Structures are given as C-alpha cells and as structure tokens.
Amino acid sequence: MARRHSAALDRPLARGLAAGVFVACLALLAWLERERLFRSEAVVDADDPVQLCIAERAAGIDAMLAEGVIEAPQAELFKARAAAMCQDIVGDGGGGPALPPLPAQ
C-alpha cells in the first residue's frame, strides 16, 4: 500500500483552527456593531432641550415611516439631519460666533 501524504492544511487540527478563527472574527464583528445590531431605546432627559427636540422630531419621522410616506433609509437620514438641526437651534450648535453689535449712530 502506498502511503497517503496529506497537506498540513487538510488535517483536522488545521480545519478546527480555521473554524475557530472564523468564529472569533464573527464575534469581533458582532461586538463592533453591537449598537447597530442591538439597539436600546434611549431615555430622554427631561431637562435637556436638545434631546427633547430630537425626540419630538424623531417621533414625527417615525410617524411618516409608519404611514409609508418615506422609506427607512430616508428616515435615518432625516433623523441625522434633525439631530444636527436641533443641536444648532436649541443647543450650542456651533453656528458660529455671535455677530458684533451694530455701531451707534
């Protein structure tokens, strides 16, 4: 009988190691994307006007999504824009420095 030579990568130990690396990579991806995969409902602070503004806008956007007026990708875009708008209007939105006073006449 001829001896059968198998490559090192065809052995059970190498296949098990490859499966372990695959599972570890999946676990790492799940950990990195945990916020997107496992969203939790954010609690709105009653004293924060920016969060209240964002919650109000998000409720309107969710209503439009439920009615079928907009699609899911549009809703995410609208929510991101609403957050920026609320931060700019209500909070320290970084809208630039205040304008200097007008000269007295």
Closest CA to 55 of 65, 74, 41: 41
- Domain membership of residue 56 as a residue range: 41-94
- Note whether 30 and 58 are same-domain residues: no
Number of domains in the chain: 2
Q: Is the pTM of this model over 0.95?
A: no
* pLDDT for position 98: 65
Residue 81 included in any domain: yes
Residue 63 included in any domain: yes
How would residue 47 be classed by pLDDT, with cut points 50, 70 and 90? Answer: confident
15/20 Cα distance (integer angstroms)? 9
How would residue 91 be classed by pLDDT, with cut points 50, 70 and 90? Answer: low
- Whether 61 and 78 have beta carbons less than 8 Å apart is answered as yes
Residue 3 included in any domain: no
- Note whether 53 and 64 are same-domain residues: yes
- CA gyration radius for the chain? 27
